[in-house]
Chains A and B, each alone.
Chain A
């Protein structure tokens, strides 16, 4: 696919890296020629230095032939204008824009239409990150909790804890333990190596298990695998920026939330905006402040400042002082690779953002993609089209579908109903199929499998 990326910042840069990696033809546009040169030094991409929204710049970047425009400059206005120019002058099929300001986002439905501001897909990284952390807090014991099929089903990752009921038993025993709950284990990572699970696979302590279940059943399965039963209550957020404050706002009705922020003026603003949250002025890397605020009884400590180093250090401190779980925002992927057990859950803004974009880049009718395990694995939701003749999946039992190695179907969502994958289920047209792909190099095979034959009419 030919893709133009506007803005060579952190998101633009890591997007370019990820997408060239997958055989796309990428052109990156930025005002700053030096940044572009740096990027070009290690990536096989084209670059154009210029004003991102200008028609001439876009023409130079190949907008005539481009399938997609991804506008991720620092300015909402430039991003929107670029989409408008691409739409009016170049008929660009897919226009994706990052829009940060809540001022625009709160009028989403009226503003972003073809006849008004033609943005096909809006990405709001802050919103995505907030939702992601919110899900982790809602499911104590989970390392990852990702939505599928309009939140009807979820994929959850957990680390199997000592003392969990399932340790030392075969996977199929889960059913005997929880007769009313249906779940499908999609993948198991043992010492970072994927194991394709079968009914007889014995679960060991320390295994990282990915499973799919209907949203209502998630917590029961997590408890089975981790022996964690109680819900989180006390949340301490470090950093009152965009992400921290939005998270506090979304949590304060259900949890006991405190937020620590350095800047006096920001604190004032926060206390006006947040009704229930306790706003504390100070530094979260100050052990005395953490102790005063009862860090040892905090269930979840979230380090969400815009500084990776601070986030990592304060998380380690909070953990040592007794916080039960720490969630840490880390943008730099090198850091993410370095950190060990001291940080329970690292959150990568880029990986979350890229996942949401990949859904539009994959071939076929793909509604959700989550990029996992630093981009090596992927979970995707595809819609099956066609009939027995024009499709290789529709009209077939799950055990008749020739899945590539390392790919498992976790669930099938039909309308409002979630069917956990069992061999006898037959795929119907328009079913949403949720798959786990342990190795992303197999994704083209999955795309081919779901592609309709030549004779299909949409």
Chain B
């Protein structure tokens, strides 16, 4: 058990999604949040992610990005894990394109917890083996197993 088991579900783990722009990828990520969680507004998540991104890149570097924002309709922190079919440009500080994403949404009134979650998630993605395993996974189920069982 780790942080991922609280944030993602197999449904919210997406394998090799296609799309060649931030815009398209954010659309897919945003709609994944409302799968089975009907109170989440896809539109709100989509616009929230875009707006946060406009203020500065959420690219972590080494091919990973963690787009995140606060969302009104969100009750508890939630995530979507996704790998991409094609790398896309994300304005990362290291200049590398991105092919692994973790989208994170938190409630509006979150104050410190969300920062802790973000830094914990970022720490895991900084481990090369972790990202490597996710990139070589063959299915969303495998990605889900890898991420939720990582120690």
A and B interact: yes
Q: How far is the CB of B77 from chain A (nearest CB, A)?
A: 11
A93:B50 contact, CB within 8 angstroms: yes
Q: Tell me the residues in window 23-50 of chain B with beta carbons closer than 8 Å to chain A beta carbons.
A: 23-24, 27, 46-48, 50
A2 to B51 CA separation, bound complex (whole angstroms)? 16
B19:A454 contact, CB within 8 angstroms: no
Decide if A64 is an interface residue (CB 8 Å cutoff).
Answer: yes
A456:B56 contact, CB within 8 angstroms: yes
Contact flags (1/0) for A91-132 with B, using CB distance below 8 Å? 111000000000000000000000000000000000000000
Contact flags (1/0) for A445-458 with B, using CB distance below 8 Å? 00000011111111
Which residue of A has the minimal Cβ distance to B19? A65
- Cβ contacts under 8 Å, B138 to chain A: none
Q: Which of B20, B24, B54, B114 contacts A457 (CB 8 A)?
A: B114
Which residue of B has the minimal Cβ distance to A114? B43
- Cβ contacts under 8 Å, A395 to chain B: none
- Please count how many residues in chain B sit with their CB below 8 Å of the partner chain's CB atoms: 31
A62 to B9 CA separation, bound complex (whole angstroms)? 32
Decide if B1 is an interface residue (CB 8 Å cutoff).
Answer: no
Q: Tell me the residues in window 425-458 of chain A with beta carbons closer than 8 Å to chain B beta carbons.
A: 451-458
A363 to B48 CA separation, bound complex (whole angstroms)? 15
A458:B48 contact, CB within 8 angstroms: yes
Q: How far is the CB of A87 from chain B (nearest CB, A)?
A: 11
Decide if A385 is an interface residue (CB 8 Å cutoff).
Answer: yes
Assess A458 versus B51: contact at CB under 8 Å? Given A65-B19, A65-B21: yes
Q: Which of B23, B55, B70, B110 contacts A66 (CB 8 A)?
A: B23
- Cβ contacts under 8 Å, B50 to chain A: 93
Q: Tell me the residues in window 83-130 of chain B with beta carbons closer than 8 Å to chain A beta carbons.
A: 106, 110, 114-115, 118-119, 122
A2 to B25 CA separation, bound complex (whole angstroms)? 14
Chain A contact residues: over half helix, strand or loop, or mixed? loop
A454 to B60 CA separation, bound complex (whole angstroms)? 7
- Cβ contacts under 8 Å, A365 to chain B: 54-55
Decide if B149 is an interface residue (CB 8 Å cutoff).
Answer: no
Which residue of B has the minimal Cβ distance to A366? B54
A458:B69 contact, CB within 8 angstroms: yes
Assess A455 versus B55: contact at CB under 8 Å? Given A65-B23, A91-B46: no
Q: Which of A67, A385, A451, A454 contacts B23 (CB 8 A)?
A: A67
- Cβ contacts under 8 Å, B118 to chain A: 455, 457
A65:B20 contact, CB within 8 angstroms: yes
A457:B115 contact, CB within 8 angstroms: yes
B106:A453 contact, CB within 8 angstroms: no
Decide if B58 is an interface residue (CB 8 Å cutoff).
Answer: yes
- Cβ contacts under 8 Å, A2 to chain B: 21, 23
A64 to B47 CA separation, bound complex (whole angstroms)? 16
Q: How far is the CB of A174 from chain B (nearest CB, A)?
A: 36
Contact flags (1/0) for A209-245 with B, using CB distance below 8 Å? 0000000000000000000000000000000000000
Q: Which of A91, A364, A451 contacts B27 (CB 8 A)?
A: A91
Q: How far is the CB of A153 from chain B (nearest CB, A)?
A: 23
A365 to B119 CA separation, bound complex (whole angstroms)? 25
A1 to B23 CA separation, bound complex (whole angstroms)? 10
- Cβ contacts under 8 Å, B143 to chain A: none
Decide if B57 is an interface residue (CB 8 Å cutoff).
Answer: yes
Q: Max chain B CB contacts within 10 Å: which of A64, A91, A364, A454?
A: A454
Q: Which of B24, B47, B55, B58 contacts A65 (CB 8 A)?
A: B24
A364:B106 contact, CB within 8 angstroms: no
- Cβ contacts under 8 Å, B60 to chain A: 454
B54:A364 contact, CB within 8 angstroms: yes
Q: Which of A65, A453, A458 contacts B70 (CB 8 A)?
A: A458
Q: Tell me the residues in window 58-72 of chain B with beta carbons closer than 8 Å to chain A beta carbons.
A: 58-60, 66, 68-70
B54:A455 contact, CB within 8 angstroms: no
Q: Max chain A CB contacts within 10 Å: which of B22, B46, B60, B114?
A: B22
B114:A93 contact, CB within 8 angstroms: no
A64:B114 contact, CB within 8 angstroms: no
Assess A455 versus B119: contact at CB under 8 Å? Given A364-B54, A385-B55: yes
28 A–B contacts, CB within 8 A, in A order: A2-B21, A2-B23, A64-B24, A65-B20, A67-B21, A67-B22, A67-B23, A91-B23, A91-B46, A92-B23, A93-B50, A364-B54, A365-B55, A386-B55, A451-B56, A452-B56, A454-B56, A454-B57, A454-B59, A454-B122, A455-B115, A456-B52, A456-B55, A456-B56, A457-B70, A457-B115, A458-B55, A458-B70
Q: Which residues of A contact B (CB under 8 A)?
A: 2, 64-67, 91-93, 363-365, 385-386, 451-458
> Besides the contacts A457-B68, A458-B51, what 11 more A-B pairs have beta carbons closer than 8 Å?
A2-B21, A67-B23, A93-B23, A93-B50, A363-B54, A364-B54, A453-B56, A454-B56, A455-B115, A457-B69, A457-B70
Top 7 closest pairs, chain A to chain B, by CB: A451-B56, A65-B21, A452-B56, A458-B52, A452-B55, A65-B24, A93-B50
